[in-house]
Amino acid sequence: MEELQKLILAQGEVINDEIIKVDSFINHQIDPVLMDKIGKNFAAQFKEQKVTKVATIESSGIAPALMTAKELNVPLIILKKEPSKYLNSDLYQTEVYSFTHQKNYELTVSQKYISEDDHILLIDDFLADGEAAVGALRLFHKAHATTAGVGVIINKVFQPGETKLKELGIDVVSLVKIKSLTNKTITFD
């Protein structure tokens, strides 16, 4: 997506060789017109997959996942990063390591909203180490659901996430691939 590359170059802030901030248009302040285009793009790329639900991990993936679900006319499931203090029974759970926050968290989803009849498309803002995506796939597997694929806005291809997912036989669609952030310079793949 050329428009997305231009926004990343204009507004993205390279923190170091591994991290780029895009919080002015993706994950703190959200550009709804951009999210609509992103949702349409993902929906078009996965339209033949017979997706029954779109899923994302709270919170930065919610906007693009919602727009994708809207375009596919299917429900959105939000995987929670910690179980509710009150609604903690009948959950599928798995532990995930967060590259961004450098800590483990418990990824959960209610058993009411995912089943063996589901073919789920996972949408997220970033793909880096792939731990969050692999954790989400473990939850789908626990429910005996299948995975339609993974769509990410920004794929940092210099990190192992895409390789991990492809080794699991998962189709990965990236709207932008970043090859390097070395010397605070964004290089697209």
Instruction: Tell me if 156 is assigned to a ligand binding site.
Output: yes
Instruction: Tell me if 18 is assigned to a ligand binding site.
Output: no
Instruction: Tell me if 130 is assigned to a ligand binding site.
Output: yes
CA dihedral 35, 37, 41, 43 (to 10 degrees): 70
Give me the long-range contacts of 34-37 (CB less than 8 A, separation at least 24).
34/3, 34/4, 34/7, 35/63, 35/64, 35/66, 35/67, 36/67, 37/1, 37/3
Residue listed under structure tokens 């005996």: 144
Instruction: Tell me if 132 is assigned to a ligand binding site.
Output: yes
Instruction: Tell me if 82 is assigned to a ligand binding site.
Output: no
Which among 151, 88, 79 has a CA at the least distance from the CA of 114?
79
What residue type is assigned to position 133 of the chain? Answer: A
Q: How far apart, in whole angstroms, are the C-alpha atoms of residue 165 and residue 31? A: 28
Known binding-site residue numbers for 5-phospho-alpha-D-ribose 1-diphosphate:
128-132
Known binding-site residue numbers:
27, 128-132, 156
Known binding-site residue numbers for xanthine:
27, 156
